[in-house]
Structure 1
Amino acid sequence: MKHVMLDCYGSTQTLLDDIRYINKIMNEIPYVLKLVTVTPPQLIPYYYGKIKEDDGISSFVFLEGGHITIHTFPFRQCYFVDIFSKDFDTEVLENYLLEKLPYNPSLSSLEIRDRDLTVFNQLPYNAQEDFGPHVLSEIAFEKRITMENMFDFLEKLVYEIGMTPITRPLVIKSTIRNTHYLSGIILIAQSHISLHYDYENKVIYFDIFSCASFDFSMVTNVLSDLGKVTSYEVVCRGTKHYSKVKHEIDNTEAIASEKWQKNIYNDCL
């Protein structure tokens, strides 16, 4: 399985804030890359963050055993692409995005990982310079994980690592019959956590991309509840964003937007 992480800077604010256009991009990317989709695009606008410059659109598409996510930051004129899937042509992806969602390659960065390799690696992470850590891990899981197991794990994990959820988990089977994968995702403030369980090989592919610094050293302990951690890597994403405009926070909207979180996490808080 291939994991591509593309951090695109120098993009266009109006396009990054156009939810209809981002939906078009999310439909077209798997088509031009010849990837197998198992859901339509899901898009969540995030316009009530504590840091207004981090407002934008989070979007994802489930692939067979993988996903595509794009998180846009219009005020900072950048976006982050994450594709976990069977092999595809990365150059086709770059050319497509340069045409449809232009960015400046000299300011941007590309990371590619082979998720089938056993890796234990943690690149130096600087909270003052790097945008956020991206944790990639594989877990050997001998039992048969259920949709409820995966849903509960994702929902509780958000609280345990101190993240801000902007959705509740979505868990799906890759097909109606002869299912090969069980996939789950939860969007956190302008990033995501995902799990993909391969029934045949009994392995869980896990990743968490955070737009804020957090104690990622504790992730292995949390993942060990699922099974044996066989691979673990931390990739540093992006650089500190620049901002042209400072925005006042609308306290009423912020309080209202967090009400559902307090309702469901009441026993934990």
Structure 2
Amino acid sequence: MTTALAEYRRLQHNGQPHYGQHLIATCLGCSEDILSIERMTKFLQVMADDIDMVRFGDPVIARFGGGIETGISGVQLIETSAIVIHTNDAHRDMYLDVFSCKEFEEETVRRVLDDFLSPSSVTCEVFYRK
């Protein structure tokens, strides 16, 4: 691998170089905080800080949709990519994507989820991008 490519794919997983780590979480049965734009804005900021990422500006966040598809969508840009949420008001569910070319801990993501939203269940999948 060339030096430039090694610098670009600097994250190591199972002895192989990767560009980034992508965590996808499904959080079901969250607390009523999931309905608050202010609380979800704070969630995005704290998530970025706690997984040791550098935030790039303020989160962009809004509630929209119709009927059973109404919810909040938001993104916190980070120097190494983004943290994205989509929620469902009716069921109090949230779908979270954390993608970064800097490594982070799944346990920290789960702790922030529990601290902010107390979901009844959380499933996470972690992928490594080449």
TM interval, short-chain normalised:
0.7 to 0.9
Are the counterparts in 2 of residues 137 and 206 from structure 1 also a CA contact under 8 Å?
yes
Per the alignment, in what secondary structure is the counterpart of residue 129 of structure 1?
Answer: strand
- Look at both structures and tell me which one has the larger radius of gyration over its CA atoms: 1
Partner of residue 98, structure 2: 208
Write the mapping of 1:30-49 to structure 2, written as runs, cut at 5 A.
Answer: none
- Secondary structure of 1:209 counterpart: strand
- CA deviations over 1:219-249 (Å, ceiling 9, x no partner): 11111121224211101112xxxxxxxxxxx
Is residue 114 of structure 2 the alignment partner of residue 230 of structure 1? no
Give the % identical residues. 28
Aligned-pair CA distance for 1:198: 0.7
Measure, in 2, the Cα distance between the counterparts of 1:128 and 1:168: 34
Report the equivalent of 1:22: none
Number of aligned positions between the proteins:
116
TM-score, reference length from structure 1: 0.39
1:186 partner SS: strand
In structure 2, relative to structure 1, the CA distance for the partners of 1:133 and 1:168 (3 Å cut) is: same
* CA distance 1:156–1:142, change in 2 (3 Å): closer
1:224 alignment partner, SS class:
helix
What amino acid is aligned across from residue 118 of structure 2 in structure 1?
A: G
User: What's the CA shift string for 1:73-99, capped at 9, x where partnerless?
Assistant: xxx7xxxxxxxxxxxxxxxxxxxxxxx
TM-score by length of 2: 0.76
Deviations 1:17-64 (A, max 9, x none): xxxxxxxxxxxxxxxxxxxxxxxxxxxxxxxxxxxx8xxxxxxxxxxx
In the alignment, the residues of structure 2 paired with residue 160 and residue 150 of structure 1 have an alpha-carbon distance, to the nearest angstrom, of: 15
Is the partner of 2:47 in helix, strand or coil? Answer: helix
Bigger RCO (CA 8 Å, 6+ sep): 2
- Structure 1: unaligned runs, 5 residues or longer: 1-52, 54-75, 77-123, 239-269
RMSD after superposition: 2.4
Partner of 2:17: 129
C-alpha separation between the residues in 2 aligned to 1:190 and 1:214?
Answer: 11
Runs of at least 4 residues off by over 4 Å: none
Tell me by how many angstroms 1:215 deviates.
Answer: 2.3
Indicate conservation of the 8 Å contact 1:125/1:133, yes or no: no
1:163 CA drift (Å): 0.3
Tell me, in whole angstroms, the C-alpha distance in 2 between the residues paired with 1:127 and 1:196: 33
Distance 1:191 1:127, change over 3 A: farther
Q: CA deviation at 1:216?
A: 2.8
Residue 167 of structure 1 deviates from its aligned partner by: 2.3
Q: How far apart, CA to CA, are the structure 1 residues paired with 2:124 and 2:44?
A: 18
Q: Distance in 1 between matches of 2:86 and 2:31?
A: 14
Q: Deviations over 1:150-169 (max 9, x none)?
A: 00111122111110112210
Q: Counterparts of 1:7-46 in structure 2 under 5 Å?
A: none
Matched, 1:139 2:27: yes
- Segments of 5+ residues of structure 2 without an aligned counterpart are none
In structure 2, C-alpha distance between the alignment counterparts of 1:125 and 1:145, rounded to whole Å: 36
| Closer/same/farther in 2, CA of residues 174 and 199 from structure 1, 3 Å limit | same
Deviation, structure 1 residue 126: 4.1
